[in-house]
Amino acid sequence: MSATMSELKPYQMYIDGTWADSESGKTFESINPATGTPWAIIPEATGNDVDRAVRAAHRAFTEGPWATMTATERGKMLRRLGDVLAEHSEKLGFTETIDTGKLLKETRWQASYIADFFHYYAGLADKVHGDTLPIDKPNMWTMTVREPLGVVAAVVPWNSQLFLVAVKIGPALAAGNTVVLKASEHASAPLLEFAKVFEEAGFPPGVFNVVTGFGDPSGKTLTSHPLVDRISFTGGPDTARHIMRNAAENFAQVSLELGGKSPLLIFDDADLDSASNGVLLSIFSASGQSCVAGSRLFLHERVHDQLLERIANRAAQIRIGDPLADDSQMGPLATPAQLSNIQDTVADATANGATLVHGGRQPDALGDGWYYEPTIVDCPNQDIGIVQRELFGPVVSVLKFNDEQEAIRLANDTRFGLAAGVFTRDVGKALRVTKALRSGIVWVNTYRMVSPLAPFGGYNESGFGRESGMDAIYDYTRPKTVWINTSPDPIADPFVMQ
């Protein structure tokens, strides 16, 4: 059943403190992945719309109340933003669930937890400062001042929308920058709802803007715009290459949070109850649509068969269904393109010697939603596509190892390096393996932990730069060096020999 235009919820972009349609009047539909039907109508931004948003952000950075506000006042505004956000977490979570298919219990929790990120950066706003340098010259007072960069272009994908935005704009705004956010074409509505929270929190016009639309022209115009000083991108490596080329136009500083093919290593001395829960948490939470999904599972040969059976039995009990229902444990995939990519890759794996241990199909009786079963594939080696490529779905490739060195070698044999998990009771082994793993995050006897205090980011094709934590706020500033001559004497004529 398809909805008529009048049944679709209309959204507008948020530019310069006002709500706006695309100047072209063009729109596109947003689809509810649980039903496969359109539910909202989103403006399709043109290059001019994006230009208007960047100019508004630039004006807000150089003129007006934001430009002259003290860091302490900025901190207070961010604290208020966190408070207002917490009041609206139910509605924000609901919108994200309708737009992305992610479970309501998770989106609701995430929407309230991101208030903590804004509170954290609210506290840091007036704690970023420069230094006085013990300089190696007489009669010189030399210091650095930390300045914001200017206009930040934040570009995000469709999963964990509110979370991905909080880790970018929390530190960017706390440091005194202004922001133009490009929402994903697959899930724009949660961020347009989020802009209403900004409005309610009373931020001056232009400090935070949300544009919608597609990679080209919307994302491309934004990331190559001459008035953009910093690009903070989260998405896939192919798009990241475009972003780097776009940044060659404006020399904006760039940080990239990209995908992953994260290894989860389970040693034979691990607590196997905990480890099998860790597997479920790492790959089937959020239907595997997580950049840190533990999609390569390495089992010590002594526990391989036993654990595989346990995990398959648990996977068979996962309740797949309506993401709004409290008893659902796994929702649908967010786009039909993902579904067909996953189906093709699993078929390719079994044709190339892998064994399907569980799943591998769309569940019956769930209508036209883009659901896919939790899927476990036992793989003969790492050379097949399913082990190499990020799938962004509930599919885990299982491989066997026989000792610590082999586990490390196999885990590091990837182009990515975002996250990794290690399950063992041996502290020495945990520390040796953690040190050897080439990834930005290592979880030992746990998985998927995040916090406003803990830096987050990758190695290699998983990107560069870190979000969250103290470092992130410095990343949105640069030092200005000030030299002051304190000598009472005139400076010497440089062309007269002393």
Q: Which residues bind ligand NAD (CB under 6 A)?
A: 155-160, 164, 182, 184-186, 214-216, 219-220, 223, 234-236, 239, 242-243, 246, 257-260, 291, 390, 392, 418
Give least dist CB 192 to ligand NAD, A.
Answer: 14
Q: Which is nearer to ligand NAD, 96 or 390 (CB)?
A: 390
Give least dist CB 165 to ligand NAD, A.
Answer: 11
Q: Which is nearer to ligand NAD, 400 or 466 (CB)?
A: 466
Q: Which is nearer to ligand NAD, 95 or 234 (CB)?
A: 234
Please give the full DSSP string across 203-231, using - where no structure is assigned: PPTTSEEEE-S-IIIIIHHHHH-TTEEEE
Helix ranges, 353-480 (H): 385-388, 404-412, 427-436, 469-475
The enclosing H or E element of 193 equals: helix 189-201
Give least dist CB 187 to ligand NAD, A.
Answer: 9
State in Å, rounded, how far the first CA of the chain is from the last one. 90
Is there a catalytic annotation at residue 257?
yes
* Cβ-contact 88, 197 below 8 angstroms: yes
Q: Which is nearer to ligand NAD, 242 or 310 (CB)?
A: 242
Q: Which is nearer to ligand NAD, 119 or 220 (CB)?
A: 220
Q: Which is nearer to ligand NAD, 283 or 303 (CB)?
A: 283
Is there a catalytic annotation at residue 291?
yes
* Crossing angle for the helix pair 189-201 and 161-174, to the nearest 10 degrees: 40
Catalytic residue (choose from 44, 291, 373, 467): 291
What is the distance between the alpha carbons of residues 413 and 261, in angstroms, rounded to a whole number?
10
The enclosing H or E element of 47 equals: helix 47-62
Give least dist CB 334 to ligand NAD, A.
Answer: 9
- 70-75, long-range: CB within 8 Å, 24+ apart, which pairs? 70/126, 71/125, 71/126, 71/128, 71/174, 71/176, 72/125, 72/126, 74/125, 74/126, 74/173, 74/174, 74/176, 75/122, 75/123, 75/124, 75/125, 75/126, 75/174
Sign of the torsion formed by the C-alpha atoms of 439, 116, 223 and 237: positive
The enclosing H or E element of 256 equals: strand 253-257
What is the distance between the alpha carbons of residues 317 and 302, in angstroms, rounded to a whole number?
25
Q: Which is nearer to ligand NAD, 155 or 377 (CB)?
A: 155
What is the distance between the alpha carbons of residues 414 and 412, in angstroms, rounded to a whole number?
6
Pairing of strands 140-148, 375-378: unpaired
Residue keyed to tokens 């966190």 = 82
Nearest to 222 by CA among 256, 264, 179: 179
Structure tokens at 399: 């491989």
Give least dist CB 170 to ligand NAD, A.
Answer: 14
Q: Which is nearer to ligand NAD, 373 or 461 (CB)?
A: 461
Sign of the torsion formed by the C-alpha atoms of 473, 102, 83 and 61: positive
Produce one character per residue of 181-214: b if its CB has 16 or more CB atoms within 10 Å, e if not. Answer: bbbbbbbbbbbbbbbebbeebebebbbbbbbbbe
Give least dist CB 132 to ligand NAD, A.
Answer: 36
Nearest to 369 by CA among 36, 58, 88, 25: 36
What is the distance between the alpha carbons of residues 95 and 189, in angstroms, rounded to a whole number?
7
Q: Which is nearer to ligand NAD, 156 or 330 (CB)?
A: 156
Give residue 111's region: left, alpha or beta (phi > 0; psi -120 to 50).
alpha
Give residue 460's region: left, alpha or beta (phi > 0; psi -120 to 50).
left
Q: Which is nearer to ligand NAD, 197 or 291 (CB)?
A: 291
Catalytic residue (choose from 44, 96, 193, 257): 257
Residues with catalytic function: 257, 291
